[in-house]
């Protein structure tokens, strides 16, 4: 047994010796390349690349030697090299090994990186409690990213019991040192009132700090705050500025809002359907349901794009599959009129019902029309009356007019001219053309 043990120790020692020999050889080659380049004053791009590689290699060799001699900072740097695949191939397990050696010596950077690896299960088995311990060790030394991450662990109850007050404590420490992620997180804490009193003005202030440093999601949230006038004075031009900044960085929700502002000519920009379609397309291609429905409508009407019912249906369906109530209603309309699909009243009825149940007011009006005309279902004035009333009471002018018609002729209810007049008047106030005619007729006939 002793002989076998001795043999293993000699084998390990031999491997270490070979490794050191390779490191020294690599260092000598790097030195030789650098010396040659210096001597002949090389300016050839390929030669300069070789020089840069040699310098990096020489630096890596020095780090490796110092790490093996127990230098904590070098152990951290070597772990980083393995984590990022610099010089050596990416090796999370090797990275974790060197981070641990440095972390055990109190290196805050290594503690933070190893904490992230335990949190995410990279190179080590996932262990949220160990991640919390490491984040805390680094945070107590003033490591700002560790402070922010420790706060996040408290916020989500990951490896520790949820504690919003403790989350705010650590995130604020990092934010007050200028950590952009922490500034954004402080904005969220104030926006939702977690660990602090809900305060839109404070939320806007923190989000703005992060937005000004290029944090994409913060830019989008600042855009919404200016658009809605939450925590800041309402200013659509400022909203557009921040939506545009986030949109250009690829944020799909900001792209949708830039599209909306171009479509409606808001935020200090002129109405531009071509620009609207461009931004909606960028957002829709990333799967944003609102943008898919909006772009579908543009293909339906031929605004900024060539009219294309088939493309409209494709986009409405993609949005409807995500449960978008407006898209469900739009898709129902395509089936009702046979645009881009074969006409199918029963399918239209089913889609209108789903949209109505999801809160779409126009869908209630469309359901009422289907019941009134007997499309896809047996004609039923009483059901039509119910559906029209739901939409009418939510302000749908067409439903208000149709409800007036049913009361005027006594369909689904007894004739009631007073009630008919009331609904015609409501619709006419919204400039519904048929209601204006009906109202005029009722006044003429007394």
Q: What digits encode the pLDDT tens for the residues 191-238?
A: 999 999 999 999 999 999 999 999 999 999 999 999 999 999 999 999
**Of 205, 304, 220, nearest to 255 (Cα)?**
220
pLDDT in tens, 70-92: 999 999 999 999 999 977 789 99
pLDDT in tens, 232-248: 999 999 999 999 999 99
Q: With left for phi above 0 and alpha for psi between -120 and 50, is residue 269 left, alpha or beta?
A: beta
- The pLDDT of residue 62: 87
User: How far apart (Å, rounded) are the C-alpha atoms in residues 130 and 54?
Assistant: 38
In this structure, the number of other CB atoms found within 10 A of the CB of residue 14 comes to: 10
Section 162-173 average pLDDT: 98
Pair 85, 92: CB distance under 8 Å: no
- The pLDDT of residue 86: 79
- In the predicted model, what is the mean pLDDT of the chain? 90
End-to-end CA distance of the chain: 116
pLDDT band at 43 (very low <50, low <70, confident <90, very high): low
Name, of 84-88, 267-271, 413-417, the range with top average pLDDT.
267-271
Angle at 107 between CA 24 and CA 123, to 5 degrees: 75
186: exposed, middle or buried (Cβ count in 10 Å: 0-12, 13-18, 19+): buried
Sequence-separated (6 or more) residues with CB below 8 Å from residue 294: 256, 259, 260, 263, 276, 280
Pair 332, 355: CB distance under 8 Å: yes
Section 53-57 average pLDDT: 63
- The pLDDT of residue 165: 98
pLDDT band at 61 (very low <50, low <70, confident <90, very high): confident
Q: What is the DSSP string of 182-249?
A: HHHHHHHHHHHTSSS---HHHHHHHHHHHHHTT-HHHHHHHHHHHHHTSSS---HHHHHHHHHHHHHT
pLDDT band at 389 (very low <50, low <70, confident <90, very high): very high
**Of 279, 299, 301, nearest to 291 (Cα)?**
279
pLDDT in tens, 363-388: 999 999 999 999 999 999 999 999 99
Residue predicted with more confidence, 32 or 137: 137
User: How far apart (Å, rounded) are the C-alpha atoms in residues 346 and 423?
Assistant: 29
Q: With left for phi above 0 and alpha for psi between -120 and 50, is residue 328 left, alpha or beta?
A: alpha
User: How far apart (Å, rounded) are the C-alpha atoms in residues 168 and 404?
Assistant: 56
Name, of 49-53, 305-309, 433-437, the range with top average pLDDT.
305-309
For residues 35-67, b (16+ Cβ closer than 10 Å) or e, as one string? eebeeeeeeeeeeeebbeebeebbebbebbebb
Say which residue the tokens 């402070």 belong to: 147
Pair 435, 424: CB distance under 8 Å: yes
pLDDT in tens, 291-306: 999 999 999 999 999 9
pLDDT band at 328 (very low <50, low <70, confident <90, very high): very high
Section 143-161 average pLDDT: 98
pLDDT over 90 percentage in the chain: 82
- The pLDDT of residue 18: 41
Does this model's pTM top 0.95? My answer is no
Section 116-123 average pLDDT: 98
- The pLDDT of residue 2: 42
DSSP SS3 for 303? coil
- The pLDDT of residue 14: 41
- The pLDDT of residue 300: 98
Q: Delimit the domains of the chain by residue range.
A: 20-69, 381-446
Statement: residue 137 has pLDDT above 80 = yes
User: How far apart (Å, rounded) are the C-alpha atoms in residues 419 and 127?
Assistant: 68
pLDDT in tens, 332-367: 999 999 999 999 999 999 999 999 999 999 999 999
Statement: residue 444 has pLDDT above 80 = no
Dig out the tokens for 116 from the structure.
């992230």
Pair 420, 441: CB distance under 8 Å: no
């Amino acid at each position: 047994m002793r002989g076998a043990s001795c043999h293993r120790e000699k084998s390990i020692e031999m491997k270490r010796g070979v490794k050191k020999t390779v490191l020294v050889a690599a260092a000598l080659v790097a030195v030789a390349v650098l010396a040659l380049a210096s001597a002949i004053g090389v300016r050839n791009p390929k030669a300069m690349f070789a020089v840069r590689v040699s310098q990096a290699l020489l630096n890596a060799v020095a780090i490796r030697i110092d790490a093996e001699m127990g230098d904590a900072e070098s152990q951290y740097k070597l772990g980083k090299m393995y984590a990022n695949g610099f010089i050596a191939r990416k090796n999370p397990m090797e990275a974790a090994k060197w981070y641990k050696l440095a972390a055990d010596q109190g290196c805050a950077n290594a503690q933070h990186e190893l904490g992230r690896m335990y949190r995410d299960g990279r190179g080590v088995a996932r262990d949220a409690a160990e991640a919390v311990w490491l984040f805390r060790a680094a945070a107590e030394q003033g490591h700002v990213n560790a402070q922010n991450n420790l706060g996040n662990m408290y916020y989500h109850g990951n490896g520790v019991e949820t504690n919003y007050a403790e989350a705010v404590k650590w995130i604020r420490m990092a934010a007050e040192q200028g950590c952009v992620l922490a500034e954004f997180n402080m904005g969220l804490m104030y926006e939702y009132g977690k660990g602090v009193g809900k305060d839109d003005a404070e939320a806007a202030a923190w989000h703005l700090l992060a937005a000004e440093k290029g944090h994409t999601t913060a830019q989008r949230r600042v855009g919404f705050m200016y658009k809605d006038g939450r925590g800041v004075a309402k200013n659509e031009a400022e909203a557009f500025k921040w939506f545009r900044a986030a949109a250009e960085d690829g944020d799909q929700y900001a792209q949708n809002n830039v599209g909306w502002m171009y479509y409606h000519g808001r935020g200090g920009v002129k109405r531009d359907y071509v620009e609207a379609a461009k931004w909606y397309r960028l957002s829709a291609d990333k799967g944003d349901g609102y943008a898919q429905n909006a772009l579908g409508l543009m293909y339906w009407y031929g605004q900024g794009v060539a009219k294309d019912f088939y493309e409209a249906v494709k986009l409405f369906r993609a949005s409807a599959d995500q449960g978008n109530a407006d898209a469900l209603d739009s898709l129902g309309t395509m089936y009702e009129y046979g645009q881009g699909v074969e006409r199918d009243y029963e399918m239209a009825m089913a889609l209108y019902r789903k949209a109505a149940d999801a809160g779409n007011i126009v869908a209630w009006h469309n359901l009422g029309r289907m019941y009134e005309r007997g499309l896809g279902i047996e004609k039923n004035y009483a059901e039509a009356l119910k559906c029209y009333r739901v939409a009418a009471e939510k302000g749908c002018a067409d439903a208000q007019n149709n409800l007036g018609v049913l009361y005027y002729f006594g369909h689904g209810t007894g004739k009631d001219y007073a009630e008919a007049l009331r609904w015609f008047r409501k619709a006419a106030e919204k400039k519904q053309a048929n209601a204006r005619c009906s109202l005029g007729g009722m006044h003429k006939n007394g």
